[in-house]
Structure 1
Amino acid sequence: MQQAAPTVLSNQDFLARVEAAKADIRQLTQYISEIASAHQRTLNSPDASTNQALESIVTQTQVLNTSIKDQIKFLETDAARSGRNNNIKNSQVGQLKTSFKKQLEEYRNEEASYERRYREQIARQYRIVNPEATDAEVQEASNADWGNEGVFQTALKTNRSATASTVLGAVRARHNDIQQIERTLIELNKLFEDLAEAVVIQEPMIQQAEQHTENVKKDTEAGNVQLDKGITHARRARRLKWWCLLIVLIIIIIVGLAVGLTIGLRNKNNNGA
């Protein structure tokens, strides 16, 4: 038994889902703006509440990004199942992907910009603790792993004042923000890869389906040819059977006539004698 072909959305249902995805992309634009504002507040006045607000909006954005990606992949799959000639669906999917990628690129640029600004703030704060540090030492500090307790304690040894402890605590906090940004950038790169792979994944499936359809068509045509030949042969066989029967009847009639004439002639001769 052949499995039923996967159902596809009507154009009306498909476009309704497209509009829902567009609304989510507009929401993503708002989230990106809020993340930029949260980063700016964190740079200006770092405290627990600003960090929590930033983490919250980043988490919401990650969930929304995944949802949009899944919606686009679903619509792309449906468009592929609908066939190559469904230009409406293919066009809508292309526009969605372009719009989503644009927002992801904007988000990536924002995060990269604030990562640079966090590192610049770390450099300034490090100079407060070590005013005589060289540019190379400051650069090294901006790239150091401040989550490592050893790095923190080593920097603190050069200046044990209360101010130094507070400043280095802020440096450690900025380092945590940078790590969050790096994780976000990795996730964004993965989203770009997933969107790029969607077409590559679907294409062999489409080709296989089309090849299967073509094979079925060829097999059906070949079967029809063989069926026509069979019908022709059957008709010829029936005609041949009737001709054979007719010939046999003719032969029987001829033989019967010959026998009858022979008997008739013998009886006539006998009577004459």
Structure 2
Amino acid sequence: MSGGYGQYNPYGDQGGYGQNPYGQANTMEQGNGSYEMNQMGQQQPADPTALLNKCREINDGIADLRAKREGQLAAAQNGLLDANTAKEDQVAHQGLDLIEDEVNNGFRYLRDLLKKVKQTPGSGDSRVQTQLDVTSRNLRREIEHYQRSQSDFKKRLREQVRRRYEIANPEATPEELDQGVDNVLMGQEQTFQVYGARTGQAHDARQAALERSTAIRKIEQDMMELGRLYQEVAELVHQQEPAVEQINQDSENVAGNVADANNQITHAIDSARRARKWKWYALLIVILIIAIVVGVAVGVTQANQSTKQA
């Protein structure tokens, strides 16, 4: 059971999605961010097609996590539930821890990748924004499915802890049983004492209860972190809205300025047309005046010539 859990790499064969995304998750959270999306975080707006491809890769990663949850995680959970000896419990618990860590790191990696796409210039493109919203919902939905799966598994583990505690303490009253289970689940393992005949079965029951209580506490811690991660993913969508609204407002302002400019151009054309029309009127008047002056001059000249001839 333990041979395959630690070697599983869900993204290692995805052809460029990331050779070791789980190992990069913590590095990105520290602000290093030395992975493929760095090239898109420059000042120049990225090609919308490249951003859409990144969204597709995130969705592929979500599908990988879903397959892991439904396959390897479910198998590991059943392995711990079905374990009957202390050795089986230990091996199953180790395998389950590896699977849960890979899933949790996968969620962190996809969260960081989605955030990087959101912060890339050009992500305000309507096509990119629509796909980002869809991708964000897909990621949150898978987180919800994982949380539900872990919650159901936690309930089954608690039931087993109670049964194991009862086996190890057959003489305990119902009140002592409830209190003992609560103490074990809170990590107070020293309260789990094996009374009566210290049989191998009782010791196995004690070990099984301790293994399951440890698994329950880890699930509770993971659920708290996933709750914060879910909220961060949800807030990414809202963080984009002011920028989109500003873009829309800027577009409206540009449209208004263009309309004003068009009106001014129209007025200028009308004014130019009126000016040209008055120029023609003035030119006609000048031509008429010149014609009159020339006519008068010609008439006077002809009259003078007639007088001389007479």
Which TM-score band applies after superposition, normalised by the shorter structure? 0.5 to 0.7
Q: Select 2:94's aligned residue among 28, 40, 52.
A: 52
Is 1:225 aligned to 2:263, yes or no?
yes
Give the 3-state SS of the residue equivalent to 2:183 in structure 1. Answer: coil
The code of the aligned residue for 2:93 comes to N
Which of 82, 85, 92 is equivalent to 2:126? 82
How far residue 179 of structure 1 moved from its aligned partner, in angstroms, is 0.7
Identify the residue that residue 62 of structure 1 maps to in structure 2: 104
Deviations 1:100-120 (A, max 9, x none): 72x544433332233223323
CA distance in 1, matches of 2:51, 2:102: 31
In structure 2, how many angstroms separate the alpha carbons of the residues matched to 1:229 and 1:160? 104
Is the deviation greater in 106-115 or in 177-186? 106-115
**CA deviation after TM superposition for structure 1 residue 247, in Å:** 3.2
> Once the 2 structures are TM-superposed, how far is the Cα of residue 181 of structure 1 from its aligned partner?
1.2
Task: Indicate how the Cα distance of structure 1 residues 39 and 216 shifts in structure 2: closer, same or farther if over 3 A, else same.
Answer: farther
Q: Partner residue of 1:179?
A: 217
Amino acid paired to 1:7:
D
Gaps of 5+ in 2: 1-42
Contact 1:152 1:168 survives alignment (8 Å): no
1:123 is aligned to 2:162: yes
Q: Is the 8 A contact 1:125 1:167 kept in 2?
A: yes
1:30 to 67, 71, 93: 71
Q: How does 1:75-154 map to 2 (within 5 A)?
A: 81-83=125-127, 93=134, 97=137, 101=141, 103-144=142-183, 151-153=188-190
Report the CA distance between 1:262 and its aligned residue.
8.0
State whether residues 28 and 64 of structure 1, in contact with CA within 8 Å, keep that contact through their aligned partners in structure 2. no
Note the C-alpha offset of 1:13. 4.7
Partner of 2:81: 40
Residue 84 of structure 1 and its aligned partner are, at CA, apart by 9.8
- Cα distance in 1, alignment partners of residues 162 and 181 from structure 2: 5
Q: Is the 8 A contact 1:119 1:143 kept in 2?
A: no
Unaligned runs of 5+ in 1: none
Distance (whole Å) between structure 1 residues aligned to residue 105 and residue 189 of structure 2: 34
Q: CA deviation at 1:251?
A: 4.3
Shift of 1:63: 2.2
- Compared CA separation, residues 4 and 242, structure 1 to 2 (3 A): farther
**TM-score for the superposition, normalised by structure 2:** 0.60
The 1:107/1:186 distance shift into structure 2, 3 A limit, reads: same
Shift of the 11–54 alpha-carbon distance from structure 1 to 2, 3 Å rule, reads closer
Secondary structure at the residue paired with 2:47? Answer: coil
Match of 1:20 in 2: 60
Aligned pairs, how many?
Answer: 261
CA distance in 2 between counterparts of 1:241 and 1:39 reads: 99
Sequence identity of aligned pairs in percent? 26
CA distance in 2, matches of 1:160, 1:147: 24
Cα distance in 2 for residues equivalent to 1:107 and 1:10? 29
C-alpha displacement of 1:155? 5.2
Q: Tell whether the 8 Å contact from 1:115 to 1:178 is kept in structure 2 after alignment.
A: yes
Q: d(CA) in 1 for partners of 2:89 and 2:61?
A: 35
Q: Distance in 2 between matches of 1:43 and 1:233?
A: 97
Which has the larger Rg?
1
Matched residue SS, 1:133: coil
Amino acid at match of 1:136: E
- Structure 1 residues 61 and 13, CA gap change in structure 2 (3 angstroms): closer
Using the alignment, how far apart are the partners of 1:28 and 1:192 within structure 2? 17
Structure whose residues are more often helix by fraction: 1
